Structure 1
Amino acid sequence: MSVEIALRAARVRYGPLEALHGIDLPVPPATVTVLLGRNGSGRTTVLRALAGTVPLSGGRVLWRGDDVTRLHAHRRARRGLCFVPDRRAVYATLTVAENLELGAPGRNFAPALDAYPELRPLLPRRAGTLSGGEQRMLALSRALLTPARVVLVDEPALGMSPAVAARTYRLLCDLCDRGAAVVVAEQRPPAGLPPGTLAHELRRGALSFSGEPAEFTYRRRSSGRA
């Protein structure tokens, strides 16, 4: 299996608390990788470690074989990494149009409005006044407008209606079709994942399962944890 980006024996500490305990996580290109787990399991920290927004206390981050452990987040972004966090993912004091312009090469943000036409009548509004689902659509538009090689999204469908959530996952799958490595963090496997999707469950900062989403769901049901 070819690898786009990976964590190798990665450890992350928040003060005296170790949040990741030596995780190995390969992320292949042109594939959706789903990080599963409850709040506090470490899935958000994995995304932040890949993005460079939290430093490792041990281990490495490799990107196409290059050690980028000490590469700052903005440098990783310039290399083609797009990170959409679950909170503070938009510039609240800027309008929707201004947010889109920041992420649009040549200020052409038509693809974002084609993907999320709900944003069109909101263009003059400040992003901080939008609902949670509307802010999520705006934040995800960055990934659609930026030609990224790695796309990291924490809870993509947070606050969205089921129909918009399903559309969002189709859009993320489209990015995979263009060759991007897409990593999402969710509490449980979302519907509509494409064939070849990889799932990893985290518990207390360690990987407890790696395999296909269907296998993960079957194991949970068999153990009575569904």
Structure 2
Amino acid sequence: MTLSLRHARVRYGPLEALHGVTLAAPGRGLTVLLGRNGSGRTTVLRALAGTAPLSGGAVVWDGADVTRMPAFERARRGLCLVPERRAVFGSLTVRENLDLAAPAHEPALAAYPQLEPLLPRRAGTLSGGEQRMLALSRALLAPARVVLVDEPAQGMSPAVAARTYELLGSLDVCVVVAEQRLPPALRGRPASVYELRRGTVVFAGEAAEWRRREGLG
């Protein structure tokens, strides 16, 4: 089963951000949306999550048209969106942020041991990379069927970024991430890639195929 956009159009006032985008993310596995700022990759995530309504086309999840399903209902059915900004509750402690996802924190702290000494601190005082770890930990704790993440490794060291993609790649669910460039951590890992430019898909294929196309081996 898949989560897909079919000829999707999204408008922000007079400007159209997506121009008939069609793509599909498998029910299990990693899909990467590539593109520079303004390419439409973040809008694709928001369209899939229901936070950016379509002006045309459809969102289809497990064979059912969910275009008119509100974002909170998609979340209730197992869709988890981790946005690039405001992904944690800054006025709450790290522990309280994790409590909102699940009462048991062990899987999150096993994924990111760096968070354990930060449990009593308010999330708003953390560095950008620490906040990303916390946001992703909450997603890992949630009983999700679909995980959508905008720039998951932003602000992280290369080692933590590699660990993050290892975690995302190990999830037995549909995972869609948006990145400006194909992460080095994905070298040798199976992943579907869609490259967007100015609201349209200019490449669709496997990560290895995209690397060959770009002359990256």
Q: Equivalent residue of 1:47, what SS?
A: helix
Structure 1 equivalent of residue 72 of structure 2: 74
Count of matched residue pairs: 216
**SS of the residue 1:189 aligns to:** coil
Alignment partners' CA distance in 2, 1:77 and 1:166: 27
List alignment gaps of at least 5 residues for structure 2. none
1:195 shift after superposition: 4.1
Given candidates 125, 140, 151, the residue that maps to 1:129 is: 125
Shift of 1:72: 1.0
Corresponding letter in the other structure for 1:63: W
The answer to whether 1:110 aligns with 2:103 is: no
- After superposition, where does 1:85-96 map in structure 2 within 5 Å? 85-96=83-94
User: Helix, strand or coil: the match of 2:184?
Assistant: coil
- Aligned counterparts, 1:180-219, within 5 A: 180-193=173-186, 195-219=189-213
| Correspondence for 1:14 among 8, 12, 15 | 12
Q: Is 1:142 the counterpart of 2:138 in the alignment?
A: yes
Between stretches 145-154 and 187-196, larger displacement belongs to 187-196
Match of 2:58 among 57, 60, 80: 60
Task: Please tell me the residue identity of whatever aligns with 2:193.
Answer: A
Please give the alpha-carbon distance, in whole angstroms, between the structure 2 residues aligned to 1:42 and 1:5. 17
**How far off is 1:142 after superposition?**
1.7
Please, which runs of 5 or more residues in structure 1 have no aligned partner?
A: none
Code of the residue aligned with 1:138 in structure 2: it is L
Decide whether aligned partners of structure 1 residues 174 and 125 sit closer, same or farther in structure 2, where only a CA change above 3 A counts.
same
- Give CA-to-partner distance per residue, 1:133-184, whole Å, 9 cap, x none: 0000000012210121111000010000000000000100111xx2x01000
Rounded Cα–Cα distance in structure 1 between residues aligned with 2:67 and 2:200: 19
Hey, what's the Cα distance between the residues in 1 that align with 2:37 and 2:208? 21
Work out the CA distance in 2 between the residues paired with 1:186 and 1:156: 8
Partner of 2:161: 165
Separation in 2 of the partners of 1:195 and 1:161?
A: 20
Does structure 1 retain, via aligned residues, the 8 Å contact 2:190–2:207?
no
CA deviation after TM superposition for structure 1 residue 109, in Å: 1.4
Structure 2 length-normalised TM: 0.96
1:214 deviates by 2.3
1:220 aligns with 2:214: yes
Which residue identity lines up with residue 68 of structure 2 in the other structure?
Answer: R
Structure 2 residue aligned with 1:99, among 97, 101, 105? Answer: 97
TM-score by structure 1 length?
0.92
Corresponding residue SS for 1:151 = strand
**How far off its partner does 1:205 sit?**
0.1
Runs of 4+, deviation exceeding 3 Å: none
Instruction: Give me the CA root mean square deviation.
Output: 1.4
- 2:149 aligned residue: 153
